[in-house]
Structures are given as structure tokens and as C-alpha cells.
Chain A
Amino acid sequence: MSGWNPLAPLPAVERWTPLAKVSAAAGVALLVLLALGPLILNANLLDKLTTLFIYVILALMWNALAGYGGLVSIGQQAFFGLGAYGAIRLADAGVNVYLSLVASALLVGLVAQPVSAFMLRLKAGEFAIGMWVLAELAHLLVNLDKLVQGETGTSLIALTAYQADSRRATIYWLALAAMAVLSGIVFALLRSRTGAAIQAIRDDEEAAAAVGVRVLGTKRIIFILAATGTAMAGALWLATAISFQPKTYFGVQWTAYMIFMVLVGGLGTFEGPLLGAVIFFTIEAWFGGSGVWYLVGLGGTALAFSLLLPRGIWGAVERRLSLRLLPVGYHLKVPLGIPESNMTEGASGQAPSAVAEIPPVER
């Protein structure tokens, strides 16, 4: 590094800001507090929180897929439904019912691997619609299963072997754990080098390939993760509802909810979908009984957000206040003397003589 003034501070990359450390700690503290829920809260509240956790998982997964990966899918209900169906099948085969919930999600993740080979060849709108077709196909195939009896459906009978209270607490903890683990995985993935590559593919696939990003393999990671997480949400939903009617699980409304939460909260921000899930949960609690008008309201709100606040609530907050609670990006701390916002002037001031000299590396 002979070109640099040895006394001048070098630019440094900052990833964990003090604020980020505080908010990560607060997040962990909140999870610990929530883990005490079954000891403190009443049954009704526990059920509601379990629902919220499932919504958070759905929003988190759709945002990872579409907001970071650029893979806009309107067929994620395929994995939601398959997650529930897999749990029914596994429990019927004698697997412990709680274990079958988790195992089903992992199995769906395995199935998503060959599925990705076909689906990821499709681009943009083709992918979105292709996923919907896939969901319909999965729905029809599940209907053929004698155990499911077509649209009559079946239920996760094995759960009824457990007492209502212990069942409620276990499912609550399971949902909380799934939410925590999946959030952690998404956060770690986005902060990893793969996470940066995923976002580059979202912005320009060809340019990403031109700088050495292995496009297909990288997309596959996010696709399979989203499939697994969404399947986990489906299995958990089954555990709270017990009854399984294919139409309810393979309905496109699930993806509509995901899109709503992500668009309102903030597409392509880590914090946004968490916020979006809370908002959706609240709206549903207040207006969920209003039938068709509730759905009209949801659609109208999502539309308004995409037109007026395309980056959602959190995107706007982030931009206004440059507030990043859980940053997944990189901030270069540039020493004084180099203006933060130079456009063109002084650009060559440090090039090329004052440049750190790094010889090409032998590959």
C-alpha cells in the first residue's frame, strides 16, 4: 500500500453500527420475552400471536424471494399447501405429529430443488404466472390423494391426542422458534456474500453474470429457502386449524396476503415485512369480519402503497431518517478529505498516483 499516506486513515467497511447492535439485542430480548408467553398469556392471545408469527414467516419469505431475489411469485401457496399436506401424510404414516410439521417443511424444500430447475428458467412475468400454474397443479395432485378425499379434506387427527393447553403452547413455541430461526437464516444469508450476489441478480441478471455471479445456483438458494419457510408456515397453519381442505391452503389469497404485508411494510428492506405482518395482523383483527369489503380494502391499500410509497413504510422511514436497525448492506466509512457527495469534481484527485497499489493476483 505504498501509494497511501501511511498516517491517513484508510476507508473502512462498517457493517454492525451501534444502533444495529442495540436493535439486534432488542430483537433477541423480545424473542425471549415472547418465549415466556404460554406461562403468562391466555389461550386467545396465544392463538393470536401464533397467527402473527405465521404471518411474519410468510412476509419474510416472500420478501426474501421477491424483494431481494427479484423472483416475484404469485404461486407461493403451492409450498404453503404442500407443507400442510406433507404434515398430514407424515402424521398418517405414524411420525410424531409435531415432528411431522418440521419434517414436512424440509421435505418441501427438497422437492423445491428439482422444481427450481424448471421454474428458474422462466423470466419475470412468466415466472410469476408459472408459479401460480404450479400451485394449481399441486392443488389438483393433492386432491387426487385418497387420504385427502378431494375437496372434502381431512384433518390432523393425531394432534387431538394432546390436551388442548399443551397443544396450544407447543404450537406457539414451534411457530416462535420457526420465526426466529428463519429470520436468523434470512438475515445471515442477506449479509453474506451470497446475499449481495442475490441482490445483484435482482437488479440485472446479465450484468451479474458479467462480474462472475453464478446466477442459477444463487437464485436456487433463495428459491429453496422461500419454499421451505413458506411450507413451514403452511404446516403451522394446519396445526392451528387442524382441518385440511385443499382449497383453503392452495388459495391464491395467501400470496396476496404476503404481497400486501411486504408492499406495505417495505419491499427489499429487512425490517419492512416484519412491520407489514404486524399491520396486516391488526387490520385483519379489526376488519376481518367485514367480508368482501375487507378484501377490497386490502387490495386498495396495497395499490395505494405501490403507487404512492413504492418502498413501503419502512423504505420511506429508512430514506428519510437513514435509519437502519438491522442493516444487511455495507457502509464505507471514508476518511475526511474525500467529500461524501462529490459528483464529478475532484474525481481524479486521488487517481492514479495516490492509489493503493495492489498487484494482480495469480489465479
Chain B
Amino acid sequence: MASDADQPILVASGIYKRFNALVVLDGIDFAMRPGEAIGVVGPNGAGKTTFLSVLVGAHRPTSGKVRFRGDDVTRLPAAERCRLGLARTHQVPRPFTGMTVFENTFVAASNGGRFPRTEAYDRCIDALSLCGMLGIANRRAETLGLLDRKRLELARALATNPVVLLLDEIGGGLTDKEAGELVDTIRELRRRGIAVVWIEHIVHILLQVAERLICMDAGRVIADGSPEAVMSDRAVIDAYFGEGTP
């Protein structure tokens, strides 16, 4: 694997996704390098979450291809992609409510991570510690508040030992202090070599991590490049504030 450092790790080409007459993704091309940190912005309804779902296999694209680590994974179900190292968090957290916080991560480590039992334990402890959840490891997930549910999304995704981690608005509703902690955690993940795609509305948090920014609107990528370039792009300003904004 080491020699492929310059090969893109995750590639989507010509992705279209229609739900009946509604075109949600309208020809997306995307490629990311190993270890890269990409921020995804765009107005509501731009298709960001759908694009993420196509990448992980929760949705099949109407047409187009997804390649991960050199293989065509377009027809591979979500569970198999996760086992290859592609993990996501959900915008609206989806904890396993009847299980404890620890058990939530254990399912992820022993399935997605394919770790044997004791190694899975270590992974879970590591992921929970990283997300600040060790102290509530034995709580049933149904008793968690929204913030802890979001943390659990991240811990669970981490326990699968991802190569690429796709984060869907994990920073929404955080206080400044909490957002700072989240940024620290994600920087630590990057230090470990995990590539990150992060959809987020709170741009100033995003810019602390992202080295590249993508802006989507109406199912297309309208800008892709360095954060500074994208944020000052005419099309991006128009998409957010309406055409003709000075």
C-alpha cells in the first residue's frame, strides 16, 4: 500500500443520483489522496449527505462509479465497504439505543474493524477515550443527550479502524469549547493518518482542519480547491447569498 501514496484513495466519477424525477446528484467527480482532509460546504439541499451516502454504499448511484483503494466498490454493500476501511457518521445520530456506549463501539470494532475480541476491546477503549466517553461507557445509548450521541457516532466510526472517515455535520449545535475539543480530536485522527471528508455548515470550525474545500450546490461541485480560493469564489458567494451579492 505504501507505494500508492500518490494514488487517490477514494474516487467518485460521473455520479448521478435520481430519486424518481428529482435529480439530487448531477454529475459529480471527486478524488482524494490518502490522509487528506477535505471540507464540504454548500447550502441545504445541495446533495452533500446523499453524496456521502453514495460514497459509503448506503445509496447506489443511478450512474457513475466509486473506487476505493484501487478497487471498484460501486456494487459493494455498505458493510463490506466499511470492512475495507470506509466509515461514516450520521447527521442525525443513529445509536444502537438498547446497547451500552461500549457495546456500540464493540459492534463497530468487531465487525467493521474485523478485530478479534481482545483487540476489539483495546480499539473501543481507545476510541471512547479519544471522544471523551470512557466515563459513560456503561450507559445505555438511549439515555444519551444529543451531544453524546454525536460523540458516539464518531467513536463508533473510529472503532471500525477507518482509512477514510466521512463526517456528516458532526459539529452542529456545539458550544465554542466543545467545537474546540472536536477539532482537537479530528486533528489527532489526521495525525494517525486517517483521511477525513467533513461536511459542515460551521465554516470556521471546518477551516481549522480542512486543507481543501469543496462547495456543492444543486447536486454539483461548483468549487474545489484551497479553502481561501473556494471561500472567495464568485459561484460560492452566489450560491450562499444569491446572485449579485457584492
A363 to B1, CA, bound (A): 10
A202 to B128, CA, bound (A): 23
Tell me which of A199, A268, A330, A341 contacts B136 (CB under 8 A).
A341
CB proximity to A under 8 Å, residues B103-117: 103-104, 106-108, 110-114, 117
A354 to B132, CA, bound (A): 11
A311 to B69, CA, bound (A): 45
A360 within 8 A of B: yes
* B113 CB contacts on chain A under 8 angstroms: 212
In the complex, the answer to whether A199 meets B98 with C-beta atoms within 8 Å is yes
In the complex, the answer to whether A356 meets B129 with C-beta atoms within 8 Å is yes
Q: Min CB distance, A100 to chain B, in Å? A: 39
A291 to B120, CA, bound (A): 54
Tell me which of A11, A203, A363 contacts B125 (CB under 8 A).
A11
Q: Give the interface centre of A206, A213, A352, A354 by most chain B CB atoms within 10 Å.
A: A352
A351 to B133, CA, bound (A): 10
* A13 CB contacts on chain B under 8 angstroms: 102, 121
Q: Min CB distance, A298 to chain B, in Å? A: 26
B160 within 8 A of A: yes
B28 within 8 A of A: no
B118, closest chain A residue (CB): A13
* B121 CB contacts on chain A under 8 angstroms: 13
A358 within 8 A of B: yes
In the complex, the answer to whether B99 meets A196 with C-beta atoms within 8 Å is yes
B94 within 8 A of A: yes
In the complex, the answer to whether A355 meets B107 with C-beta atoms within 8 Å is no
With contacts A212-B83, A212-B160, A338-B134 taken as known, whether A351 is within 8 angstroms of B181 at the C-beta atoms is yes
In the complex, the answer to whether B135 meets A341 with C-beta atoms within 8 Å is yes
Q: Min CB distance, A358 to chain B, in Å? A: 5
* A352 CB contacts on chain B under 8 angstroms: 130, 184-185, 187-188
A290 within 8 A of B: no
A338 to B106, CA, bound (A): 20
* B100 CB contacts on chain A under 8 angstroms: 329-330, 332
A355 to B181, CA, bound (A): 14
| Interface segment out of the listed B16-24, B38-46, B84-92, B206-214 | B84-92
CB proximity to B under 8 Å, residues A158-209: 193, 196-197, 199-200, 202-204, 206-209
CB proximity to A under 8 Å, residues B189-230: 192-194
In the complex, the answer to whether B160 meets A200 with C-beta atoms within 8 Å is no
A205, closest chain B residue (CB): B94
A357 to B99, CA, bound (A): 26
Q: Give the interface centre of A208, A212, A332, A347 by most chain B CB atoms within 10 Å.
A: A212
* A211 CB contacts on chain B under 8 angstroms: 82, 87, 107-108, 111-112, 156-157, 159-160
* B122 CB contacts on chain A under 8 angstroms: 356, 358
In the complex, the answer to whether B110 meets A347 with C-beta atoms within 8 Å is no
Tell me which of A212, A344, A347, A356 contacts B112 (CB under 8 A).
A212
Q: Min CB distance, B239 to chain A, in Å? A: 29
A321 within 8 A of B: no
Q: Min CB distance, B187 to chain A, in Å? A: 7
Mark each residue of chain B from 2 to 21: 1 if its CB lies under 8 Å from any CB of chain A, else 0. Answer: 00000000000000000000
In the complex, the answer to whether B96 meets A332 with C-beta atoms within 8 Å is no
A331 within 8 A of B: yes
Q: How large is the interface on A (under 10, 10 to 19, 20 to 34, 35 or more residues)?
A: 35 or more
A339 within 8 A of B: yes
B90, closest chain A residue (CB): A207
In the complex, the answer to whether B185 meets A351 with C-beta atoms within 8 Å is yes
In the complex, the answer to whether A343 meets B136 with C-beta atoms within 8 Å is yes
Mark each residue of chain B from 57 to 84: 1 if its CB lies under 8 Å from any CB of chain A, else 0. Answer: 0100000000000000000011100111
A214 to B148, CA, bound (A): 26
In the complex, the answer to whether A203 meets B97 with C-beta atoms within 8 Å is yes
B163 within 8 A of A: yes
With contacts A200-B96, A207-B90 taken as known, whether A212 is within 8 angstroms of B102 at the C-beta atoms is no
* B184 CB contacts on chain A under 8 angstroms: 348, 351-352
* B78 CB contacts on chain A under 8 angstroms: 206, 209-210
Tell me which of B85, B88, B110, B147 contacts A344 (CB under 8 A).
B147
Q: Min CB distance, B118 to chain A, in Å? A: 9
In the complex, the answer to whether B192 meets A360 with C-beta atoms within 8 Å is yes
Q: Min CB distance, B144 to chain A, in Å? A: 9
A342 within 8 A of B: yes
Lowest 8 A-B CB distances belong to which pairs? A212-B112, A347-B132, A352-B188, A348-B181, A212-B111, A211-B108, A207-B94, A212-B82
Chain A interface residues (CB < 8 Å from chain B) = 10-11, 13, 193, 196-197, 199-200, 202-204, 206-215, 268, 329-332, 334, 338-344, 346-352, 354-363
Chain B interface residues (CB < 8 Å from chain A) = 1, 56, 58, 77-79, 82-85, 87-88, 90, 94-100, 102-104, 106-108, 110-114, 117, 120-123, 125-126, 128-139, 145, 147-148, 151, 156-157, 159-161, 163, 178, 181, 184-185, 187-188, 192-194
Chain A to chain B contacts (Cβ below 8 Å), 9 pairs: A193-B111, A199-B103, A213-B111, A330-B103, A351-B129, A351-B181, A352-B185, A352-B188, A360-B193
